[in-house]
Structure 1
Amino acid sequence: MSGLPGSVPHRRSGRRVEVAVPLDLSGAGRPTAEAVRFLRECQGLGLAVSWRATGTPPYDPGMLGHLPPPAELPDAADVLASWRAGHAHGVLYHRRGPDFVAVLDRRERGTAVRLTLDHPALHATFLRLLEPTPVAALDAAGREALGLLTAERLVLSSGGWAVTLPPRIRRWPVPCTAI
């Protein structure tokens, strides 16, 4: 049992994960949402991931800069170089408390945004979208919350599917104060 979502074929060896197939970043729906969830969970567990991407993102690829960068990203060498340069453990993550989620977002250089999601609809939608979810399955309050979470770049919504971006960090590098 790797502790990772089974929707992405992979092999785990210690602290390393090798993904067997290219992950779809095209934003075409469920495959992209599942790929993002898989990478988010790897990041949360502090795993090194070897993977390849397919598809050109129609969304801002900088939204994924907190996730492990791919070994290759076809037709987007500049995006890949930027992703590699900006990637660091802990630039975007969430912590959970009773009836709230705290998010730290440092994806933009020189800024640190701290958000507390304590409104019931925002909190519930954020947690629900930890699993890739069809947008059509959300009720009116969930869709409104999705709009707010997407505007804050905490959720990727593309191709009729949505998924939460910030990982829950379960393993910090030592020393954790270096982050």
Structure 2
Amino acid sequence: MSSVSSEWAGAAVVVESWRDHDPLARELFGMALGSTVVTDDPVTAAADLYAAGARCVRVPDTVELCRDASATSARSLLLVRELTGRGVAVEWTARCADGCVTDGRFGHLYPPSAVLGQPAAVAAGWRKSYFPCRCVFRHGPGFLEVRDRRFGTLEMFTVDEPAHLATIAALVTGVPVAGVPADVLADLVGAGLVAEHAGHVWWLPVRVHRWPAPALVV
């Protein structure tokens, strides 16, 4: 698998975090955890923030959703994905110029407070339709399962081909488009399970850390 570009690897995401998502509770002594510059991969960064006690994280910079978004915006989305999977509230603002947000591909991520460039109803609809585990994946022995409810009815995908599994493992932190086997990429794009930004492709589904309801209900 090809190495990520220096732009992708060097894209730093600044965040602020607290021990609670309630605005009043956050004013109490000891609740603020301060600012962090995330330079690690988003999987490690989210795990570290959660272990430090963060239950609400703010991304101050606006995050672009469209395909021409910067590497920093893309890595911000990866971080939102990982924090969503850990049940952390995320305060962030998105921007969409081409209407891509309306196709629902990001609807499983913790919803932003606003989507700049789109009517207010877009962000409101995102918040209204959001629920935990809307598009998730889990590993089994020799396979990976995706449960996707972003588009209404439940779609389930079981992946057991070695090439696909190896690619997905790398896509979790982002891979250059040229480094993904064409047939694997076509399958994942067709299933709506990846996004492309800054010349890289990344995995959209959220990793399950705990089920919010019995697993068969999700």
Q: Which residue of 1 aligns with 2:105?
A: 63
Q: Is the 8 A contact 1:24 1:35 kept in 2?
A: no
Q: Aligned AA for 1:151? A: G
Deviation string for 1:118-170 (max 9, x for gaps)? 111221111110012210233xxx23211110110111124522110001121
Change (3 A) 1:89 1:98: same
Task: Give 2:171's aligned amino acid.
Answer: L
Q: Which residue of 1 aligns with 2:117?
A: 75
Alignment of 1:167 with 2:206, yes or no, is yes
- Equivalent residue, structure 2, for 1:26: 66
Q: Which of 154, 165, 169 is matched with 1:112 structurally?
A: 154
Task: Determine which structure has more spread, i.e. the larger CA radius of gyration.
Answer: 2
Cα distance in 2 for partners of 1:26, 1:103 equals 24
Indicate whether 1:86 and 2:86 are aligned.
no
- 2:182 corresponds to 1:143: yes
Q: Is the partner of 2:136 in helix, strand or coil?
A: strand
Supply the distance in 2 between the matched residues of 1:86 and 1:127 (Cα, whole angstroms): 28
- What is residue 93 of structure 2 aligned with on the other side? 52
Q: Cα RMSD (Å) of the superposition?
A: 2.1
1:35 and 2:35 equivalent? Answer: no
List 4+ stretches of structure 1 deviating above 2 A. Answer: 29-33, 54-61, 157-160, 176-179
Give structure 2 stretches of 5+ with no counterpart. 1-10, 20-54
1:3 is matched with which residue?
A: none
Indicate if the aligned counterparts of 2:12 and 2:72 stay in contact, CA closer than 8 A: no
Gaps in structure 1 of 5+ consecutive residues: 1-5
Asked if 1:155 is matched to 2:155, the reply is no
How far apart in 2 are the matches of 1:33 and 1:99? Answer: 29
Shift of the 76–28 alpha-carbon distance from structure 1 to 2, 3 Å rule, reads same
Paired letter, 1:96: H
Taking every aligned residue pair, what percent have the same amino acid on both sides?
32
Alignment pair present for 1:127 and 2:169: yes
Cα separation, partners in 2 of 1:53 and 1:60, compared to 1, 3 Å: closer
> Where does residue 43 of structure 2 map in the other structure?
none
Residues 33, 98 of structure 1: alpha-carbon distance in 2 compared, 3 angstrom cutoff: farther
Distance 1:26 1:76 in 2: 12
